[in-house]
A and B are shown apart, each in its own frame.
Chain A
Amino acid sequence: MRSVELVGIDKYFPSSGTWALIQARLSLNPGEIHAVVGENGAGKTTLMKILAGLERPDSGQIRIRGRTVEFKNPAEATRFGIGMVHQHFMTIPGLNAAENILFGAEPRTVFGLLDKKAVLRKAADCAAGYGFSLDVRRNAESLSVGERQQVEILRLLQKNCDILILDEPTSVLTDQEIRSFFSVLRQLKASGKTIVIISHKVGEIKKIADRLSVMKDGRFLGEYKATDISNHALSDLIMGEYESPRLKAKAFPPRPAPTILEIKNLSLHKFKRKAHALRDINLSVGGGEILGICALANNGLSELEDLLAGRLKPDEGGVFFQGRPYPKLRKAPWLDGGIAYVPSDRIGRGSCSDRSVAENIVALDRGSFFPHGLLDSAKAQARTLKAIQVLGVKARPESKISQLSGGNIQKMILGRELSEPPAKLCLLCEPGWGLDYASLRRTYKRILEIRSRGSAVVLISSDIDEIMELSDRIAVLHKGGLTGLVTNGPGITKSKLGALMMGLENVYSGSRGTAGRDHE
């Protein structure tokens, strides 16, 4: 018997005026890892929210182990053993990992108070039972993203959920965390759990899933055994046609261009109790050039972003924009087209979640829409529509950001920052985060286009593929210092960059000033 069957599910969202699901379906076998794949906005998350009791379908049936059910809320779905781990984790700060895991089912003492010892013991047993190496006494705030994910999964297991839904579980994990996450999944499968993974990463899915269901534009396209379908064919299905997002930048002949951004002897001594957050960084970027900067987590990448975004002040050295000290505000009039900034934190810094798409574009854009102190609404509207079109944001201008999926928010921000006319300097941090293949391709195309128009692009990313795909030169940080500044080309491989990122090698000449712009 199928453990779950969803049949003929329709769902309309009046607020955005879209059909999220049209006759969608899904069936799960007990004890399998099943991937639900599709582009951003294909309806994967909505379908899974319906299964988890978070949304109610307009029509259609949910059958659990052959029995037709209706869930009014997540608790009812939990009673049938269904639980969901959301893309944005729901760990509760202020409680420790154990209290988070047992939240809602805490052991109590005879006086009705929390039995803190029993909470710790029970959570530790649960973690150990499924082979998680997690210290449950730690505070939720101190946990890494991967550990938070473990807490979320344990919370469901502890409630005896045997159907686990994971929404884009790998998008927040590092490569190493993904490996251990996959071994956790295999272990869960071995203990008889059914696992659903929502994803748009074809390569990963093929590695872990037994079967997969493909969705596009709210419809179910088909169900396949992972071994029966090639990556190529799967991508074809997801996107309608196959085209590699990796455009491989045509080697752009380096030409002498005026330096736009210059980082001189930059050091940041103490940041969040970390000594030497950044050490003696010298970098410069000229017009028509993409400088990729990469590092492993906690090696100074986020501090460098904050410095370039003007949120931190360096302790030594400085940053110069066309020879002048870096502006406090990226809208300063003398910036001449300004600085485009795509922050790595799309929800906190890139957008105001309780405002509309239009307001987010107009209020946070580089340009001004207030020529005489009053809003020029025609200009603002034209700008909004243009920014939405750049990457095809699936939303109306008046939709609230909080109603958009993560990928759509990222597209809105990219559209706003990369639209015409291009900024002199583009500071792009993790631009490909959460994007599907088609959008990624368009984003990369647009970034290369902006480069060829003479803008300087600083690409800060922890995604090595992205760095290698786009950069003209690549700077590598390790423990806050440069370990390499190399010209991108055939000699630059993943393992070479990996060695630099881990500090195993250091090819940085240590020379100062403009040596970095030397194209040999």
Chain B
Amino acid sequence: MTWLDTLGGITASALEAMTPLLLAATGGLFTELAGMLNIALEGLMLAGAFFGFAAAAVSGSLLLGILAGALASSLIAWIYGSATLRLKANVFITGLAANIFAPSVTAVLSAAWFGTRSVVALAVPEPARPLQTSLGRIPVLGGVFFSQHSLVYLSWALAAGAAVIIYRSVLGTRIRATGARAEAVAAAGFKPDFYKLSAIIISGFFCGIAGASLSLPLGAYVPNMSSGRGWIALVAIYLGNRRPGRTALACFVFALAESFSNYAQGQFGIPSEFILAIPFAATLIALSLGTSAKNE
């Protein structure tokens, strides 16, 4: 295997690993721009992973699975948002509650529906690799960019769509204005809370699909399978300066770290604990570098 193949392999798996991160970060971007720090991304992803997987297993349809994941996560986000905005609960406490609620409700339902609280592996349709037989034949690039499964391309399309919504739609403009100066939105005769709630539900929608993109390609639901990606997504938003393009780039860097750590296991004779810490160490380093760059 040449070094080029190795690099291609790492990049290809980075693009796959980037999918849930990109979706969660895109969702989190909406709440961030609406002026709220959404710490519930992690829990929302997990709900999406479970319900998406369960629906796909029962219906045998990948699309229904994705939709169910998005819907369930949006619903939790709606409850979380209403508690925060209508009942005026502290956003951190409700976010924390959502993060605790998601793994517990999935554990209960997992025991009830599948008879286990641990890993559930069932036959779900495998996502297609739509371009593999055509553009995928291009040497190197084909393997990296065009042999991905459909959820990867879906995430790109959704992220691009989100950028259009944020900058070119009326809803996006209002959400941004709410985050920048809520009094001005109120003075213009709109309800800032409506735009905040919209942003939270949109973030739930994206996180649901992010979760589904973890469980569906794997064909299994693993408890806590989001494993910190919701938090890394928040860091990516911060490093991306709350802009869609830069946030996506930050997601790619983190995904690259993850994919490199997967590759490096069993390569260099370094204890796997250290190798597995690479993505988190990368997050920490990126965050400190990003912060000092911003303060310049």
CA distance A116 to B188 in the complex (A): 19
Chain A residue, CB-CB nearest to B173? A114
- For A74, the chain B residues whose CB sits under 8 A away are 186-189
Contacting pair B169 A113 (CB below 8 A): yes
Tell me which of B23-31, B127-135, B177-185 binds A.
B177-185
Query: Of residues B179, B187, B188, which shows the largest number of chain A Cβ atoms within 10 Å of its Cβ?
Result: B187
- Chain B 198-229 interface mask (CB, 8 Å, partner A; 1/0): 00000000000000000000000000000000
Which residues in B have some Cβ–Cβ distance to A below 8 Å? 164, 168-170, 173, 176-177, 179-181, 183-190
- For B186, the chain A residues whose CB sits under 8 A away are 74
Tell me which of A102-110, A258-266, A478-486 binds B.
A102-110
Chain A residue, CB-CB nearest to B169? A113
Q: Would you mind naming 7 contact pairs between A and B with Cβ atoms under 8 Å apart?
A: A74-B186, A74-B188, A92-B185, A93-B180, A103-B184, A113-B169, A114-B173
Contacting pair B189 A99 (CB below 8 A): no
CA distance A347 to B186 in the complex (A): 21
Q: 15 extra interchain contacts, Cβ-Cβ under 8 A, other than A74-B188, A95-B180?
A: A54-B187, A75-B189, A86-B187, A91-B181, A92-B177, A92-B185, A93-B181, A95-B176, A99-B173, A103-B173, A103-B184, A103-B188, A106-B173, A113-B164, A114-B173
Chain B residue, CB-CB nearest to A109? B168
On chain A, which size bracket covers the interface?
20 to 34
> SS class of chain B's interface: helix, strand, loop or mixed?
helix
Contacting pair A92 B170 (CB below 8 A): no
Partner of A112, one of B169, B173, B184, B188: B169
- For B169, the chain A residues whose CB sits under 8 A away are 112-114
Does A199 sit within 8 A of B, measured CB to CB? no
CA distance A114 to B169 in the complex (A): 5
CA distance A489 to B167 in the complex (A): 58
CA distance A58 to B126 in the complex (A): 66
Chain B residue, CB-CB nearest to A54? B187
Partner of B177, one of A95, A108, A116, A155: A95
- For A106, the chain B residues whose CB sits under 8 A away are 170, 173
Minimum Cβ distance to chain A for residue B231 (Å): 25
Chain A residue, CB-CB nearest to B176? A94
- For A92, the chain B residues whose CB sits under 8 A away are 176-177, 180-181, 184-185
Contacting pair B176 A113 (CB below 8 A): no
CA distance A106 to B188 in the complex (A): 12
Contacting pair A108 B189 (CB below 8 A): no
Partner of B189, one of A73, A91, A93: A73
CA distance A86 to B184 in the complex (A): 10
- For B179, the chain A residues whose CB sits under 8 A away are 94
Minimum Cβ distance to chain A for residue B166 (Å): 11
- Asked if A91 meets B173 with Cβ closer than 8 Å, knowing A75-B189, A78-B189, A114-B168, the reply is no
In the A-B complex, the 6 residue pairs with the closest CB atoms: A75-B189, A90-B184, A104-B188, A113-B168, A92-B177, A94-B180
- For B185, the chain A residues whose CB sits under 8 A away are 92, 103
Minimum Cβ distance to chain B for residue A250 (Å): 46
Chain B residue, CB-CB nearest to A93? B180
CA distance A94 to B176 in the complex (A): 8
Chain A residue, CB-CB nearest to B167? A114
Residues of A144-166 whose CB lies within 8 A of B: 155
Minimum Cβ distance to chain B for residue A49 (Å): 11
- For B177, the chain A residues whose CB sits under 8 A away are 92, 94-95, 103
CA distance A155 to B187 in the complex (A): 11
- Chain A 102-128 interface mask (CB, 8 Å, partner B; 1/0): 011010100011101000000000000
CA distance A53 to B164 in the complex (A): 35
CA distance A90 to B169 in the complex (A): 21
CA distance A94 to B177 in the complex (A): 8
Minimum Cβ distance to chain A for residue B216 (Å): 31
Residues of A478-514 whose CB lies within 8 A of B: none
Query: Of residues A54, A74, A94, which shows the largest number of chain B Cβ atoms within 10 Å of its Cβ?
Result: A94
- For B176, the chain A residues whose CB sits under 8 A away are 92, 94-95
